[in-house]
Chains A and B, each alone.
Chain A
């Protein structure tokens, strides 16, 4: 499977930046849902909940920032399909923006002393609303993604005035991503609470449950593939089932993590395994729509500025690293 002419660099950048976005979103989804559940149980006063409350607004900001890059590259790679799906879903699709704004402000609200003083039910409602918003966005993205692969349905859908696209693999696909968000999000969160065995045990439950859901949903999804959308099902299937091995490794690592003697090493291995799982699933996602990828348009192929982009990317990454490292070193002790 060689990428069509002129698409390789965009494909690599798309997948790489999309992976960063998905990992960060996984963390946000995990943390937000976690806060909602724990608050509903009246158990949101521990270190793990405090960690999530503190960092989630930043993580969502980082996730959205990271998400801008794949949003750009998808327009380069799949322009007509992406635009058509956007237009067909119309205001239903555009609703992701207010949903994100509401979810974002809910995360800030969850950090306030006022919300912390509310009864458990209302305290849970704030991250609960945020969770609902983010799940809606995830559902909408998957719906949009699948619609890009169904040109056979576009004209009919438009004529009917429908703004909802449903097909057999939609729900299992969303479930697979949401399930996958839990082990990925839990692994990122674990770095912040790696010395707290109790918090790690809680995260372990979420990670293993999420993995189980992801594997089960992935199976249902494969069973519901339609010939019209998966001309390369074999390759895509190999990519997807190739994730099972690292997923099993990830499950084992999470199983032992809370009581591991060399916890940092174990967590590092779990992070690597989570990354491999994500890469596999990302490659499945692209393999599945491989035949939708056309050679780069002449204007894209001729566009200048790539060297400048890579130079600016490296320079800005260095400045960001310098700022964060320098500021961390210059920190005065907390009062």
Chain B
């Protein structure tokens, strides 16, 4: 395979199959764990600074003991699993959408390098505290913890800019450069929201840790109430959430507010879990100053994990049909490539063979399988999660052809189909063949000129020929032709 073909405008990467799991579940599962641990580390740094201050000013006699124990947990969890799941996020994103992470690296590699500088500072300050903390005067303990906390928050600062850019590139999309992309419209609400989440997670984890301390109940209650102070910023979450909703694209907002019931339910789970945690914090801890035991603290932390998971699902889902708004569709095809792929075909240049070519009785079905692999497999499976046989199995042949040809109008969070009529027909046949139980014999409809002409008409209606990027503007307009 000559390298020249791999350097074409659309790079073809080998696509892996994860069986019944859709790829979003793979990256989502890891991402949620990583975000949870990373935010715990960021809030943990702030909490430790607070407790060091309490200790050195004599306000809380057990603060230092708690601090040293909590810090060891932070190191064991955050420095090891947190850091390595961060590396794993890179590797996993390559597995799921190599072109997306490639674009992000191309555009933001200096920002990532800056983030790495702060990550290095975080690790250096943290390990210095771990090694020498018990032999240092309070001033230096606080300096090290402050450096650790600031550095970990700065990591969030930069990464948050890259992640929020994916949904709201802002002036960057008009050529304004990397800084406009970083400080995009959703940068600040997202940053402040994540900061409040981080503080809340650290406080709830502290409540769990405090319950393991060998001190009397009153001392534990006092420590928990101190830690609960970091839950107070949760009061900002509703206005921050509204701010975020106000700056994201209209169609993305519509998915979250009823346009997509799955997305709306996840918004509800995130908001509901946050309200439960916030209400318990406000009433139980901050107003009535109650003690919470380990079981309750663990339950609250689990609720916070649920809220984080649902929130990340919403953040990822709101980007559809893009991974980078208006620039890269979720299947790694750009709006500008549509016209060329319509004319030439999306899989004719794909150098990677099918691993199960012998399974398909016709060349047309093999083409359909390649189209599925390139254009659909990032979000769908054939028979597992979000399966095509379930979503489209009851459609008539003509429905299949039209719905696929006009995909961005069939479901506005789908990208437009990027291929000629023959490829629409190929994947329509593939779905019917799979629904029929993958029989050994299947008619080849490649020569059905009438069907292909109808499909070509629908394709032109969906994205008029010679209009590169038309799919993008259609989506901005709300997905209606």
Contact = CB atoms under 8 A, between A and B. Distances in A.
Contacts of B107: 299, 303
Contacts, number: 195
Given A68-B116, A158-B352, A331-B135, A76 B76 contact: no
Contacts of B114: 305, 308-309, 312
B101 to A, nearest CB: 8
A104 B178 CA distance: 36
Contacts of B121: 316, 319-320
B309 interface: no
Contacts of B105: 72, 75-76, 79
Interface stretch (B5-13, B272-280, B361-369): B5-13
A104 B80 contact: yes
Nearest to B175: A302
A228 interface: no
Most B-side CB within 10 Å, residue of A101, A105, A152: A101
Contact of B98 (A83, A104, A328): A83
A327 interface: yes
Given A100-B84, A316-B121, A72 B116 contact: yes
A85 to B, nearest CB: 10
B128 A323 contact: yes
A1 interface: no
B110 A90 contact: no
A152 B3 CA distance: 9
A319 B14 contact: no
A154 B79 CA distance: 36
Interface stretch (A58-66, A199-207, A218-226): A58-66
Nearest to B1: A155
Interface residues of A, number: 65
A323 B129 CA distance: 10
B95 A94 contact: yes
B219 interface: no
B403 to A, nearest CB: 30
Nearest to B80: A104
Contacts of B106: 76, 79, 297, 299-300, 303
A122 interface: no
B124 A155 contact: no
Interface in A125-142: none
B353 A87 contact: no
B118 interface: yes
A39 B101 CA distance: 44
Contacts of A152: 1
A102 B143 CA distance: 32
A305 B135 contact: no
A154 B14 contact: yes
A306 interface: yes
Nearest to A90: B16
User: What 6 pairs between A and B have smallest CB-CB spacing?
Assistant: A305-B110, A304-B178, A159-B353, A83-B98, A299-B106, A97-B88
30 contacts: A13-B113, A58-B131, A62-B127, A68-B87, A68-B116, A72-B112, A75-B102, A75-B109, A76-B105, A79-B105, A86-B95, A88-B14, A90-B95, A93-B91, A97-B91, A158-B14, A159-B352, A159-B354, A303-B109, A305-B108, A305-B113, A308-B110, A312-B114, A312-B117, A316-B117, A323-B124, A327-B140, A330-B137, A331-B136, A332-B137
Given A94-B91, A313-B113, 13 more contacts: A61-B80, A62-B123, A71-B90, A83-B13, A84-B13, A93-B91, A108-B80, A151-B2, A299-B106, A306-B110, A316-B121, A323-B124, A330-B140
Interface of A: 13, 58, 61-62, 64-69, 71-73, 75-76, 79-80, 83-84, 86-88, 90, 93-94, 96-97, 100-101, 104-105, 108, 151-152, 154-155, 158-161, 294, 297, 299-300, 303-306, 308-309, 312-313, 316, 319-320, 323-324, 326-328, 330-334
